[in-house]
């Protein structure tokens, strides 16, 4: 006769057949969010670099403007005598060039001779004053070229420019009619550089943004397809796992039924027969004793076989209850001299699927503890909190090194982990050599 | 001692006055124009009159030279001198009922006192007008 317990199939906990995934943890959403974040960071970095490049470009523009004005406006108009401070020459230069020099946001012009004397400036109070030229300015004055730098407004020669705010001064070499080198200096508001820099950078920004967005738009469908493929693959894997578990259950059920209906019944009959026969031939004490011992041996084998039946075929958890089933599970260990401690809170509200998975996990934990740990004590605890169920199987056995390669045959724990994680739960094994082992399973049983 | 000091002061004042008069003799009639400007006027070598005025303008000196001959249509060459050098020159023709011409130019106001000269010559008659001021 088949066992009366009904098999509890450890199906996926809850309604979802695939791993539970929130709307915001969908791979495509994550990819798009990561893409947008990456684009934002990239834009900030690119913006900084492009701003640097644009600033350099804007300064180059100012240098070009200065060079053009110096060589096409100022130099041809320099009259003889300007370099020596002739007042009439200064007048003529001022009248003929002033309006053509203060263009393109130039706010100040200064022309220096090699002695460091300002021989002309639109700020005429500076004309005739003498200051020391810096090394770079002397280099330009003597050997030509163009250079630019932010003005030092604290310098006395720049005292009239303080009201303009930050300035960029650009200087280049010009020559008077006698061929004497002079230093032509033009001052630009730095805001002009910043503005020009913005203009240049803004020309490239849309191209950069559009390029990155197009990349994101093009790759998103690919990620979506890949995510779908992964989902299907995960679902297939889960189905295969469930099929394997189910096949295993069917096989266990068949073996259990065969053993129960066949061998167990036969052994029980043999045991009764031996005992009855032994009692009937009390006039032959040797044979009677031998038959009694044989009957006892058969009964021991029968108990062992029943324990094995419990192990290979799960009990009817719905009818029997999880606590009683766990007691049965621990009974062989208790019989073997292991001190067992079971603590199960009320699991009546936990779904049958979830209860089956808890039992299966406990079975794996207890089995491993007995087989590999050689413990003196096993503690099993099941607690519930709302939808969450927590199972702890702890032993004080010899433990193992979790970092080491698991020994061959530890597929049960691996399969259990897969099963638990497929349902959105977690499984953790904590152990250390000679420090026992703790198996902790958390399930969200909706 | 006080009397001696007063005599010295009076002598110095008189000498200064004479120097000033000497200077003005070159610039026959001087007057302070409005807005801080200076105006000098005088007679040319024949019957014409000249006028030279100067006033400050943002670090520069706005100089205005004028010749009034009462004859319209005369051609004059003119020259503005700045610290002894020719800052501007040109040709002008008298016009209007007054028979005059006026020239305006901006000069750079250099450090210290600026000497400004005005010279005009009638190309036909050779009449010359010469004036000046210090600014």
Give pLDDT tens digits for A85-99: 999 999 999 999 998
More confident residue, A341 or A242: A341
What pLDDT does A440 receive? 95
Centre a 10 Å sphere on the Cβ of residue A439 and count the other Cβ atoms it contains. Answer: 24
What pLDDT does A446 receive? 61
User: Does the pLDDT at position A284 exceed 60?
Assistant: yes
SS3 readout for chain B: CHHHHHHHHHHHHHHHHHHHHHHHHHCCEEEECHHHCEEEEEECCCCCEEEEEEEEECCEEEEEEEEECCCCCCEEEEEEEECCEEEEEEEEECECCCCEEEEEEEEECCCCCCEEEEEEEECCCCCEEEEEEEC
User: Does the pLDDT at position B103 exceed 90?
Assistant: yes
Q: What is the mean pLDDT of residues A316-325?
A: 79
What pLDDT does B10 receive? 44
Please tell me which of the candidates A86, A88, A95 has its beta carbon nearest to residue B106: A95
More confident residue, A395 or A216: A395
What pLDDT does A3 receive? 33
With cut-offs at 50, 70 and 90, classify the pLDDT of residue A70: very high
What pLDDT does A6 receive? 36
What pLDDT does A403 receive? 77
Give pLDDT tens digits for A179-192: 999 999 999 999 88
With cut-offs at 50, 70 and 90, classify the pLDDT of residue A356: confident
DSSP-derived 3-state class of residue A84? coil
How many Å apart are CA A47 and CA B60, to the nearest integer? Answer: 47
**Paired strand residues for A352:** none
Q: What is the mean pLDDT of residues A130-147?
A: 93
With cut-offs at 50, 70 and 90, classify the pLDDT of residue B40: very high
Closest by CA position to A123, among listed A96, A155, A92, A161: A161
Minimal CA separation from B50 to chain A, in Å: 22
Q: What is the mean pLDDT of residues A357-379?
A: 90
Task: Find the closest chain A residue to B114 by CA distance.
Answer: A87
What sign does the dihedral B116-B121-B126-B127 (CA atoms) show?
negative
Q: What is the mean pLDDT of residues A378-402?
A: 91
Question: B88, A92: Cβ pair inside 8 Å?
Answer: yes
Give pLDDT tens digits for A18-45: 445 566 777 788 888 888 888 888 888 8
- In this structure, what token pair is assigned to residue A230? 């992964």
- Residues 6 or more apart from A413 whose CB is under 8 A from it? A364, A368, A406, A429
Contact indicator for B39, B33 with CB cutoff of 8 Å: yes
Instruction: Work out the mean pLDDT of chain A and round it to a whole number.
Output: 84
Chain A residues 25-84 within an 8 A CB cutoff of chain B: 81
This prediction has a pTM of: 0.53
Q: What is the mean pLDDT of residues A321-329?
A: 86
Minimal CA separation from B76 to chain A, in Å: 21
More confident residue, B124 or A258: B124
What pLDDT does A360 receive? 87
User: Does the pLDDT at position B109 exceed 90?
Assistant: yes
What pLDDT does A299 receive? 84
Centre a 10 Å sphere on the Cβ of residue A328 and count the other Cβ atoms it contains. Answer: 15
How many Å apart are CA B9 and CA B15, to the nearest integer? Answer: 10
- In this structure, what token pair is assigned to residue A218? 């093009």
Q: Which residue has the tokens 């007048």?
A: A91
Q: What is the mean pLDDT of residues A252-258?
A: 79
Determine contact: A128 vs chain B, CB below 8 A: yes
Q: What is the mean pLDDT of residues A223-232?
A: 89
More confident residue, A411 or A346: A346
- Helical H segments across A79-189, by residue range: 87-101, 135-143
Question: B83, A87: Cβ pair inside 8 Å?
Answer: yes
What pLDDT does B33 receive? 47
User: Does the pLDDT at position B15 exceed 80?
Assistant: no
Question: B86, A88: Cβ pair inside 8 Å?
Answer: yes
Please tell me which of the candidates A86, A89, A124 has its beta carbon nearest to residue B60: A124
With cut-offs at 50, 70 and 90, classify the pLDDT of residue B11: very low
b/e per residue A212-231 (b: at least 16 CB within 10 A): beeebeeeeeebeeebeeee
User: Does the pLDDT at position B45 exceed 50?
Assistant: yes
What pLDDT does A410 receive? 61
User: Does the pLDDT at position A160 exceed 80?
Assistant: yes
Beta pairing, strands B49-57 & B85-93: unpaired
Please tell me which of the candidates B81, B85, B108 has its beta carbon nearest to residue A94: B108
Q: What is the mean pLDDT of residues A319-335?
A: 84
What pLDDT does B30 receive? 54
């Amino acid at each position: 006769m088949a066992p009366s317990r009904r098999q509890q199939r450890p199906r996926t906990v809850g309604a979802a057949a695939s791993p539970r995934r929130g709307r915001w943890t969908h791979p495509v959403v994550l990819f798009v969010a990561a893409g947008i974040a990456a684009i934002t960071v990239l834009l900030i970095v690119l913006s900084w670099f492009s701003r640097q490049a644009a600033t350099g470009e804007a300064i180059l523009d100012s240098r070009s403007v200065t060079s053009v004005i110096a060589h096409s406006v100022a130099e041809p108009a320099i009259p003889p005598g300007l370099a020596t401070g002739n007042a009439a020459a200064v007048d003529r230069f001022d009248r003929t060039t002033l309006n053509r020099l203060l263009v393109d946001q130039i706010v100040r012009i200064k022309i220096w001779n090699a002695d460091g004397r300002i021989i002309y400036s639109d700020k005429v109070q500076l004309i005739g004053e003498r200051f020391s030229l810096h090394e770079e300015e002397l280099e330009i004055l003597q050997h030509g070229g163009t250079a630019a730098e932010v003005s030092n407004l604290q310098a006395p020669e720049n005292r009239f420019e303080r009201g303009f705010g930050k300035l960029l001064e650009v200087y280049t070499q010009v020559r008077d009619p006698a061929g004497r080198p002079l230093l032509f200096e033009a001052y630009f508001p730095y805001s002009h550089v910043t503005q020009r820099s913005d203009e240049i950078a803004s020309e490239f920004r849309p191209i950069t943004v559009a390029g990155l967005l197009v990349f994101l738009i093009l790759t998103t469908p690919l990620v979506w397809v890949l995510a779908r493929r992964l989902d299907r693959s995960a679902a297939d894997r889960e189905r295969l796992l469930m099929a394997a578990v189910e096949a295993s259950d069917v096989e266990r059920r068949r073996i259990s039924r065969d053993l129960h209906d066949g061998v167990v019944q036969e052994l029980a009959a043999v045991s009764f027969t031996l005992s009855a026969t032994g009692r009937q031939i009390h006039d032959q004490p040797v044979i009677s004793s031998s038959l009694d011992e044989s009957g006892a041996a058969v009964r021991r084998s029968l108990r062992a076989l029943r324990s094995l039946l419990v192990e290979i075929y799960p009990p009817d958890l719905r009818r029997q209850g999880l606590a009683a089933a766990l007691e049965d599970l621990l009974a062989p260990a208790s019989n073997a001299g292991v001190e067992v401690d079971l603590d199960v809170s009320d699991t009546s509200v936990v779904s049958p699927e979830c209860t089956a998975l808890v039992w299966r996990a406990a079975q794996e934990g207890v089995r491993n503890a007995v087989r590999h740990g050689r413990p003196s004590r096993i503690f099993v605890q099941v607690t519930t909190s709302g939808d969450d169920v927590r199972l702890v199987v702890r032993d004080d056995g010899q433990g193992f090194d979790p970092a080491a390669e698991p020994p061959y045959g530890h597929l049960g724990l691996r399969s259990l982990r897969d099963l638990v994680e497929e349902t959105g739960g977690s499984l953790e094994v904590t152990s250390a050599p000679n420090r026992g082992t703790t198996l902790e399973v958390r399930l969200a049983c909706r | 001692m006080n009397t001696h000091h007063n005599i010295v002061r009076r002598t110095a004042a008189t000498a200064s006055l004479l120097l000033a008069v000497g200077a003005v003799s070159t610039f026959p009639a001087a007057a302070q124009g409005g807005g801080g400007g200076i105006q000098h006027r005088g007679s040319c070598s024949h019957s014409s009159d000249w006028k030279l005025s100067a006033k400050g303008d943002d670090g520069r000196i706005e100089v205005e030279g004028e010749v009034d001959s009462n004859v319209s249509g005369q051609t004059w060459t003119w020259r503005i001198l700045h610290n002894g050098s020719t800052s501007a020159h040109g040709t002008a023709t008298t016009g209007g009922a007054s028979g005059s011409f006026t020239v305006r130019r901006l000069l750079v106001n250099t450090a210290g006192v600026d000497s400004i000269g005005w010279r005009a010559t009638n190309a036909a008659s050779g009449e010359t007008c010469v004036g000046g001021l210090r600014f």
